[in-house]
A and B are shown apart, each in its own frame.
Chain A
Amino acid sequence: EAGVTQFPSHSVIEKGQTVTLRCDPISGHDNLYWYRRVMGKEIKFLLHFVKESKQDESGMPNNRFLAERTGGTYSTLKVQPAELEDSGVYFCASSHILGDGNTIYFGEGSWLTVV
């Protein structure tokens, strides 16, 4: 069974440009999460989808970030326009159900560098 896959693995863009990150969750997982780790900080929650609906987007830093999950399968996270402080690792994660005993599986992350 394929794990959570993310694309691209690495991206270097200039300030002001747009970047779109993609996440393919494990097949059948209704819950999809985006997290981010910026340099020197802990991994922080961005948002949570249940199927195609945004369940919790309390961690989204500002309106330059737009996440979508059309059809409830893969998700994209767009940063437009990118700023220097957006550099970091963006992790996607998925899980089958909610609640205790459920495992959240992470992808390897998309490393974003804004120059």
Chain B
Amino acid sequence: QKEVEQNSGPLSVPEGAIASLNCTYSDRVSQSFFWYRQYSGKSPELIMSIYSNGDKEDGRFTAQLNKASQYVSLLIRDSQPSDSATYLCAGGAAGNKLTFGGGTRVLVKP
């Protein structure tokens, strides 16, 4: 089993809809999690971090962590064409070492 798993997509959503991305992790991964957005050919950019169970909201983004189910999700509300990118889920460990999932490609259609 991979340490961090994501559906590769593409996840296609109409403009204005909610995009829902999921990520599961194994016991070997630490309990802090990060969502990065990566446009093609660009650097991964941190959009959300979450360290404790529950929801965390920041603008149009909501991250949810469920440690019992080893599951972390990202919701993007009011999706815009500019949200079209690959979203990377990562677990953090000591020394800020990150373990990434393969990424989910999101396509927002006007």
Contacts and interface: CB of A to CB of B under 8 A. Distances in A.
Interface of A: 3-4, 31, 33, 35, 41-45, 48, 55-56, 91, 95, 98-109
Contacts of A55: 95
Interface residues of B, number: 23
Nearest to A103: B46
A42 B46 CA distance: 16
Contacts of A91: 43-44
A48 B44 contact: no
Contacts of B103: 42
Q: Which of A31, A91, A103, A104 has the most CB of B within 10 A?
A: A104
B101 A42 contact: yes
A102 B96 contact: yes
A93 B43 CA distance: 9
Nearest to A109: B43
Interface string B22-59: 00000000001010100001111110010100000000
Contacts of A48: 95-97
11 contacts: A3-B43, A33-B98, A35-B100, A42-B102, A91-B43, A95-B96, A98-B95, A100-B51, A101-B49, A105-B43, A109-B43
A64 B49 CA distance: 34
B21 interface: no
A19 B103 CA distance: 28
Contacts of A104: 34, 46, 96, 98
B94 to A, nearest CB: 8
Interface string B43-80: 11110010100000000000000000000000000000
Contacts of A42: 2, 4, 100-103
A115 to B, nearest CB: 20
Q: Which of A43, A48, A108 has the most CB of B within 10 A?
A: A43
Nearest to A99: B96
